[in-house]
Structure 1
Amino acid sequence: MSLGQQLAPHLPFLRRYARALTGSQVEGDRYVRAALEAIVAAPDQFPRDIEPRLGLYRTFQAIWQTAHVEDTDSGSESSTEPEAIARKRLARLAPLSRQALLLTAMEGFSIEDAGYLIGTDAGDVNGLVADAIAEIESQTRTRVLVIEDEPLIAMDLETIVRDMGHEVTGVAVTRDEAVALAMEERPGLVLADIQLADDSSGIDAVKDILAEFSVPVIFITAFPERLLTGERPEPTFLITKPFQRETVKTTIAQALFFDQATVPAAG
């Protein structure tokens, strides 16, 4: 099997990580392309003594960390707006903490593998993750609209959202209901399933909402590969079903991290 064939199954999930890290589909996919170009240019330098997925993420991490340091040192006048917003919030948050959190909670890497990827001792990763969770969650509180037609999943999402200190404005099970709830009480974040109760689409519901006002969105799907191709406008933040509690918490925190207009919850 060629190296390209070994890496192909992991590319959608690297895009997910890169988009969550940068807060942008365009920027995230750009870093992924840069990683792939580096591998193509020097395939003999790709680490062969580890799993292909780990080697792919390691190559990406090297490019991201180098570019991120250069952007921070230069002030990055060419940064996209979400990146500029996030950089202000990064003043008190170590970038390694955020990477450790995403790699473990979202991408499912072990503590040891995460340490390898970010170039730190495994013993330090737990502390980095704890620091990231505490810092990010303390920065943002908002109102959340849940678009989910499966009652048990909706209940799980509501519980996670409230446990994080956010307010749930409502739970919608159809496209029309989602839009109506969003217009009635504008949310600061939307969690949207893809397939809804009446065979309508959560994607269409979100498009209707975004036509009225801007709000960060996290999509939830059992088939993430279909929305992580890098070939068309696609979600920046994506949760895979079945999901883990920490994955949801991390993705919510990261989506709000890049949002400049987070509205504090009442009370």
Structure 2
Amino acid sequence: MSTAQLVVQYLPYLRRYARALTGSQQAGDAYVAATLEALVSEPETIDRQGNIKADLFRVFTRIWNSLSVNGRAEGVERDLPAEARLGQITPLPRQAFLLSSLEGFSEEESARILAVDVQEVRSLVEEAGRELAADIVTEIMIIEDEPLIAMDLEALVEGLGHSVTGVARTRDEAIALAGSKRPGLILADIQLADGSSGLDAVNDLLDTFQVPVIFITAYPERFLTGERPEPAFLIAKPFQPANVSAVISQALFFQQSAHRRRPERASA
């Protein structure tokens, strides 16, 4: 099997990443094309017995970081408002953020792709989270029955520049808390103090208003039901603070972008 045949299955993911990184489909595809040209001349850069996807992204990263424009070439229109805002984040943090939160690479894989160590990856993701949070600050509700975990999450959220509306330990407390102050995002556990369900609490809340929800749980298998809400953002315990920071920023980023893209209703 040729190198081209090995990497072709991962090209859609690379194009998605390149598009988010540059803020333009045109520019993103140009970087992907340059990556494929490099692989034609240097097929040995792909370890045929190793992590082919990570190797492909590593070659792309080498090309991206070798160009000073980093996707900001004159004449290239940023045609994607959501992705364009990612272009305002400094290059290395932007890459680390997208590798972890968009593409799902582990810290070790991201470190290899970026040619840095794991600690540097964590620092870069946190930096990207802070830069995004500075632009999309909101109020966050925490649904968590473990006091120490709730305290950690509260400190993390406030460290990103957000505020916490409160901490709910049960389904009833969550509904009451949302009734007194509506959040812009929810962090929710599933199994709560009185045996009630954070999943049910979120379902109740989403019947009255729509906000991004991030589930942080030791029981990810409970989401394999096909019921609302869809687990677009799911973090398994024990969690890395950097990953939570990245996903919070990602969820808010795309939520705000979706609001901007909604067409205005025509006047009657």
Cα offset for 1:164?
1.7
Residue of structure 1 aligned with 2:241, choices 238, 245, 251: 245
| Correspondence 1:213 to 2:185 | no
Q: Bigger relative contact order, structure 1 or 2, given CA contacts below 8 A and separation 6+?
A: 1
Cα offset for 1:170?
0.9
Other-structure match for 1:79: none
* Distance (Å, rounded) in 2 between the aligned partners of 1:166 and 1:102: 21
User: Which residue type is aligned with residue 89 of structure 1?
Assistant: R
* Distance (Å, rounded) in 2 between the aligned partners of 1:177 and 1:233: 19
Q: Equivalent residue of 1:146, what SS?
A: strand
1:232 to 1:99, Cα distance in 2 relative to 1, 3 A: farther
1:204 to 1:188, Cα distance in 2 relative to 1, 3 A: same
Q: Equivalent residue of 2:140, what SS?
A: strand
1:104 to 1:91, Cα distance in 2 relative to 1, 3 A: closer
Other-structure match for 1:122: 116
Q: Equivalent residue of 1:235, what SS?
A: coil
User: Which residue type is aligned with residue 49 of structure 1?
Assistant: Q
Other-structure match for 1:138: 134
Cα offset for 1:201?
1.2
Other-structure match for 1:163: 159
Cα offset for 1:192?
0.4
User: Which residue type is aligned with residue 183 of structure 1?
Assistant: G
* Distance (Å, rounded) in 1 between the aligned partners of 2:208 and 2:129: 32
Residue of structure 2 aligned with 1:222, choices 218, 223, 240: 218
Q: How many residue pairs get matched?
A: 198
Per-residue CA shift, 1:49-91, capped at 9, x if unaligned?
A: 32xxx4456679999xxxxx9xxx7977xxxxxxx55224224
Identity value in percent: 51
* Distance (Å, rounded) in 1 between the aligned partners of 2:77 and 2:225: 32
* Distance (Å, rounded) in 1 between the aligned partners of 2:246 and 2:144: 19
Per-residue CA shift, 1:78-136, capped at 9, x if unaligned?
A: xxxxxx552242241367744413545875322xx32544xx5438x758546523421
* Distance (Å, rounded) in 2 between the aligned partners of 1:186 and 1:159: 20
Cα offset for 1:160?
1.1
* Distance (Å, rounded) in 2 between the aligned partners of 1:87 and 1:143: 23
Conserved 8 A contact 1:228-1:234:
no
Unaligned runs of 5+ in 1: 1-17, 23-45, 64-68, 77-83, 263-267
* Distance (Å, rounded) in 2 between the aligned partners of 1:56 and 1:225: 26
Indicate the RMSD between aligned Cα atoms, in angstroms. Answer: 3.9
1:151 to 1:129, Cα distance in 2 relative to 1, 3 A: closer
Q: Equivalent residue of 2:255, what SS?
A: coil
Q: TM-score, normalised by structure 2?
A: 0.59
* Distance (Å, rounded) in 2 between the aligned partners of 1:190 and 1:201: 14
Q: Equivalent residue of 1:171, what SS?
A: strand
Other-structure match for 2:199: 203
Larger Rg: 2
- Map 1:8-19 to 2 at 5 A: none
Other-structure match for 2:107: 109
